[in-house]
Amino acid sequence: MAEEGFYIDAIDLHPDNVARMKELFKDKSNVSVKLGNALDLHDFSNDVYDLVLELGPIYHLESIEQRVKAIKEAARVAKKGAPIFVSFVLQDAPLIEYIFQSENPAEEINEIGYERDTALVTDNTGSSIQLHTISAIDELTDKVLETLPVSKGPRFAQDGLSQVIRESVNNMSEASYNEWIQYLIATAERADLMGYSNHVVQIFIKN
């Protein structure tokens, strides 16, 4: 987006990430990088952004109240009619990639909270990432729509099966990779494939 000439304010909670971004965009006068917290964007004015990308905070926040608060702040700084992209990490692609594709899945799965009868991850021990199911995203979406001045936009799979077949994707020719990207775009909103994606993005529109 910076290459296309848009002015961007980028924030991150971790100083290392801020330092990396500042180095990456040091030659870009249209990119401002700051240390910040998605729960409190007090340095940013109301109704100023044409687009807000919240592509990390929600799946590092533990409670639904914190998640709603972060989306509320994103909506506050967005202009009326602006889309707000909110990213989630689903549970099954990471479960397959990091557990069932490991050398010893039966041992690895004991390292996390896991209900075998429902195949639900209850505690992603050792990681700050909160894993969601589609129903959990639905629950948060309903809460956001009830309490914030936003309407519901599209929901799409951000990466589809890319993480699960990472090795195959990394070995594709450029032509094959372009076909894979086209497949992801064409299937991004298919409900029957949504749960296979590592990340899912829900779009809200500021009213």
Residue 17 clears pLDDT 90, i.e. is over it = yes
Residue type, 199: H
Structure tokens at 11: 């924030």
Q: What is the pLDDT of residue 147?
A: 95
Residue 97 clears pLDDT 90, i.e. is over it = no
Q: pLDDT tens-digit profile of 22-71?
A: 999 999 999 999 999 999 999 999 999 999 999 999 999 989 999 999 99
Residue 140 clears pLDDT 90, i.e. is over it = yes
Residue 164 clears pLDDT 90, i.e. is over it = no
Place domain 37-206 in its CATH homologous superfamily. Answer: Vaccinia Virus protein VP39 (3.40.50.150)
Q: Where are the domains of the chain?
A: 37-206
**Placement of tokens 């298919």 in the chain:** 190
Q: What is the pLDDT of residue 163?
A: 87
Q: What number of other Cβ atoms are within 10 A of residue 122's Cβ? A: 12
**Of 78, 90, 87, 70, which Cα lies nearest the Cα of 143?**
70
CA distance 90 to 201: 10
Residue-by-residue DSSP string for the chain: -TTTT--EEEEESSHHHHHHHHHHTTT-TTEEEEE-BTTB-TTS-TT-BS-EEE-SGGGG--SHHHHHHHHHHHHHHBPTT-EEEEEEEESHHHIIIIIITSS-HHHHGGGSEEETTTTEEEE-TT-SPPEE-HHHHHHHHHHHHHHSSEEEEEEEESSTTTTTTHHHHHT--HHHHHHHHHHHHHHTT-HHHHTT-SEEEEEEEE-
154 vs 62, higher pLDDT: 154
CA distance 23 to 33: 10
**What are 86's strand-pairing partners?**
54, 202
